[in-house]
Every structure is written in C-alpha cells, then in structure tokens.
Amino acid sequence: MLCDVSEVDPEILSDLAEALINGKEGYANGIIEMINSRLAERLNFLRWWVQDQEFCLRIAPRDYDLVFTIRDKTGTEYSITERSNGLTYFLSYFIQFLSHKPHPEKNEILLMDEPDAYLSSQAQQDLLKIFDAFSNPQDGSHITRPIQVVYVTHSPFLIDKNHAERIRVLEKGKNDEGTRVFKDIARNHYEPLRSAFGAFVGETTLIGNCNLMVEGAADQILIAGAATYLRNCTETKIETLDLNTVTIVPADSASQIPYLVYLARGRDVEQPAVIVLLDSNQSGNNAKIQLRKGVPSRKNLLPEEFIIQIAEIQSGITLSHGITLTDLEDLIPLPICVEAARRHAKEVYGATDKDIALIKEDTVLKKITTGQTIFDAMEACFQEKLIYKEVYIDKLSLSRSVINLINILNLSRKNGGKNSLFSELSIFETNFKFLFKYLNDKIRKAREKLDDESISDRVERYKRRFFRDYPLSTRREDARNLLATIEDLLIEETEETERIKKQIQNLLHTYKLETEMYKIIDRDDYEEFKKGLEKIKYAGRVVSQENKFNQ
C-alpha cells in the first residue's frame, strides 16, 4: 500500500529508518507527516467510507518498526487490532481494489464468497461502491478495463437495488435435481428473492440514513420503477434516484406520515435525513398541517422545506388534457395509464380484447371530476364497464403495470419498432426526470443539514476552547458570554433545545452571572460550573433516553 498505492519511494523509507536510528526526530517526523499526507491523498478514504468523515489511516514509528494506526471522530488513534473485524475486512477489500493491476489483454472476473461477513449494513453499501468501481471504471481510474464481479450473499444490503436485472437466485434441488438458477428476477417482481430474503428488496420499510417518505406502496413502486428505468435512459444522476442511498418508505396513508416521521426523527439525538412527498389533496393538506404542528413532546420534527406536495412541481410537468396534478399517478400520460390498465385486466383476469376495448381515454376523462385523479377515474371506469366480469384495478397493480409497460415500450423503441405511445413515453421520462431533479435538490439539502455538527458537538467545541482559556476560574462576564453564545446556536425549537435553554437559565441563576459581572467565580464554584456545562452537552441524549424509558 505504501509503495504501490501511495507511491512512496522505498528510498524514503530507508531515509526514515536511518533518521530513527540516528535520533534525528525532527527529520523523521517530517518524513512521517509527508507519508501520512500521501496516504490521505491517495486513499481518499472518505469517498468510500461514509460512516466516519474524520477517519484516516496513518503510520507511526514503534521502536524500529513502522505500524499503521487509525484515527477516527473521537480524535483517538487506535491500532488495527483494536478496531472491529468489519473495518479490517473493508480496509482489505479497499486496498486490494487500489493495488489491483488489470491484465493488459485478458478479461478478468472477481469472485467473492459472502463478502458481507463482519460488515455492517452501511459498510455493505460502501462495499457496493467498490464493486461498481471494478466493473464500471470511470475515466482516470487505474482499472483500465471492466472486471466482472460475481459474489454470493445472504444479505439484502448487498443487493444493488438500482440494477435488479443483475440478480441471480440459486435454489438447491433434492437428490439429482441439481441447482436451479432464476435468471430474470426483475420480471417476477423479485420473486423468489422475496422468499430468499423474507421481504421485497427495493421495497423495504426500513428507515435508512436518507429517506423519502411517501403515502403508500403504489407510490413507492412507481418511484423505484421509474428511477431504475431512467438510470438506463439518462447520463445525469440528478435526473434519477440512487436507490442504494435513498430509502423509499411507504405509509399506509397520508395520515400515517407524521407518525413515521416521528419514528425516524423524534426519538433520538441522531436524526436521519427525511423528505416527505404528499399528494395535493385534502388528506395531503392535513398531513402537512400535522407535520408543521409536530407532536406534543417534540415540535418541528421536520423543516417545512422538506415537506413536498406534488403540485409544487407543476411548472415543469406536461399533463394530459383535462388532468390536474393532484397525485403521483397524474405524472403518467393518460394513454400509458389506459394501456397499462388494459394489460392488467388481460393478464390478471383473463379479460378479452372486446372487454378491454371498453376502457378508453375519452371514457376515463369523462369520469374525472373536481379533485379526482387519473386513478380515481380509471377505477370508476373499471367499475362501470367491467363490473360484470369482476375485473378490478387498484393503485398497486396499476403502478406495476405502468412500470412493466414503459420497459416494454423502451425495448421496442431501441429495436426500431413503431408505436403511437413512444411520444407519451418521452413525456413520462420528462415528467419523472423533473420530479427526481426536484427531489434530489431537497435530498442534497437534507443531507447537508445531517452533516452539520450536532448541538452536543458544538457545545463541546465552545466548552473545550473556553476551559483552555480559563482553566482555573473566570469572571462571571466571561461565563455569561459563553452561555449566550451557546444559546444562539439553538435555532430550532425541539425538546433538546428547550432542555438546554432551561439548563442555561439554571446556570445563570445559580452563579449570578447576570449581576456584578466583574466578579471572579471562585474555584469550588467553577468546578461545579464545569459540571453544569457537561449537563448542557448531554441534554439531548438524556431526553432521548427518557423518551425511550417512558415508552
């Protein structure tokens, strides 16, 4: 890693050894800092390991040995053996990637068996980035030709949800049946992957580090399907969603969204990034009001800028004639909706061509009244025209049918086919590209807030600086100014900030910091004052633990 990856000249290591032997500490320290700077630059570890943005790998002399150490966000240096097996394994995979020299002529395959062993769910997501760097090398990469990556896993976190077409499920048969390979998992909606992992992949209700909360599973399927489709149709990442980093979390209804947000952000100091996408109808309006109010024990769970109603993106959307943007399904051109619904009726219920011919665009449009969506009209049309056949449609089945249809149309278009729906397909692409661009801007801002220092971190920083300047005692004025500076940080109204403000007031009152500010706080009181500041730092965690205990 030192010579090949970090490109440290072996002669420099010889110079370092000689400097250590001859006691030239200043020269030796200079060489060590140069090597550590080269390590940080060449490894660029923070791009690959998102769990700790202060992580760095360093070298340090131990007698006549050179050892690797790790420094993390605690500010402490550890030996490799003092850290988890997960980090050790990830480091080994990462270094193998950086040091690999592709064969100049032959194709290569990287085979791995259960690489998720010891890795946390987030570390597995980071490992996916390394696999992608092997198989899809970018310009300037040392990997000069793609290397196929094949790995076996039992972990859903090592499934690339952006590329379901790559998944192969193996099923061991009995006796002489051999092993079956399910090649086309995506066509069957991740079955039998559901059986293998116990849940749909890419349609999970787990709350992640960055979450897009939607009203129901139909919205989730439509967004995930459109994102996967557009990933193959656009070269810009901002016009699709990265399903490996954004978790789409469905609620049972708009009314359940506030509680989901509370589960994600209302109980802990560490709050994940959350974006909410609501319909522009009465239920969506009510959910937005509830999100603004928060809950009694914690106000403003989510900044208003991250509560989105679908009509907000009206200006960049092309709608079918007679459609008002109220629901996510309204982004789908009506001809595509009608054709998808017909295919659903035929494939699921066995409806005849004569039956599905009754579902027409003009018939659906006639069913649209004030406040109704495309789906409302489609459902009403089915109930009127096909009720005798007991043929029904719901949002979930319509979403799945639409995603299947757009992929079929796109394949036909690529193969030079002709279809009147191709122009509608272009409208579908434009609408969802605009939606994803809008959402990605919100996601970026939400992540920026997530990366900001926590309140406890900022309090600790000011406290450490203050006690360095005033180690034994200080004037009341200086202590008061410190508390005022901390209070200025408390912009959002949360239970944590309310608890901190109350603690600040207690300190101001106990040590009379607002009166006779020229006086010195004596040493005994100053030690108690320090303990009071520690309570400020941990106020948020105390609140979190109390909430969990009460539950």
Same domain, 357 and 295: yes
Same domain, 265 and 304: yes
Same domain, 423 and 534: no
Same domain, 99 and 79: no
Residue 382 domain-assigned (yes or no): yes
Residue 2 domain-assigned (yes or no): no
Domain boundary among 64, 83, 102: 83
Residue 3 domain-assigned (yes or no): no
Domain boundary among 197, 229, 262: 197
Report the distance separating Cα 101 and Cα 93, nearest Å: 14
Residue count of the chain, please give it: 551
- pTM for the predicted model, two decimal places: 0.68
Same domain, 317 and 401: yes
Report the distance separating Cα 232 and Cα 495, nearest Å: 45
Residue 268 domain-assigned (yes or no): yes
505 CB contacts (<8 Å, ≥6 apart)?
Answer: none
Same domain, 234 and 170: no
Residue 88 domain-assigned (yes or no): no
Domain boundary among 26, 59, 83: 83
pLDDT in tens, 482-506: 888 888 877 666 666 777 888 888 8
Report the distance separating Cα 544 and Cα 538, nearest Å: 10
- Residue-range definition of the domain harbouring residue 20: 10-83
Helix (H) or strand (E) holding 476: helix 476-488
Same domain, 230 and 371: yes
The count of structural domains within the chain is 4
∠93-98-104 over CA atoms, to 5°? 115
Same domain, 109 and 213: no
Same domain, 546 and 529: yes
From the list 335, 327, 343, the residue with the least C-alpha distance to 427 is 335
Same domain, 443 and 339: yes
Residue 130 domain-assigned (yes or no): yes
Structure tokens at 320: 């079918």
What string of H, E and C letters represents the secondary structure of 119-136? CCHHHHHHHHHHHHHHHC
Same domain, 341 and 463: no
One digit per residue, the tens of pLDDT, for the chain of length 551 reads 788 888 888 899 899 989 988 888 899 889 999 998 888 888 888 788 877 777 888 888 887 788 888 888 777 888 888 888 888 888 889 989 998 988 988 999 999 999 988 888 788 888 999 999 999 888 888 898 999 999 998 887 888 878 877 888 887 777 777 887 876 655 544 555 555 554 444 444 456 678 899 998 899 999 999 998 998 887 788 889 988 888 888 888 898 898 888 877 765 556 788 999 999 989 999 999 888 876 544 556 788 899 999 999 888 788 887 788 889 999 999 999 999 998 988 888 888 888 888 888 888 888 876 567 888 888 888 888 786 677 778 888 889 999 999 999 999 999 999 999 999 999 999 999 999 999 999 998 888 776 555 666 777 778 888 887 888 888 888 888 888 888 887 766 666 677 788 888 888 888 888 888 888 888 888 888 888 887 776 665 555 555 544 54
Report the distance separating Cα 43 and Cα 87, nearest Å: 15
Residue 255 domain-assigned (yes or no): yes
Structure tokens at 358: 């009754």
Residue pointed to by tokens 């340090």: 60
Report the distance separating Cα 187 and Cα 262, nearest Å: 35
Q: How big, in percent rounded to 5, are the helix, strand and coil portions of the chain?
A: 55, 10, 35
Same domain, 216 and 181: no
Residue 4 domain-assigned (yes or no): no
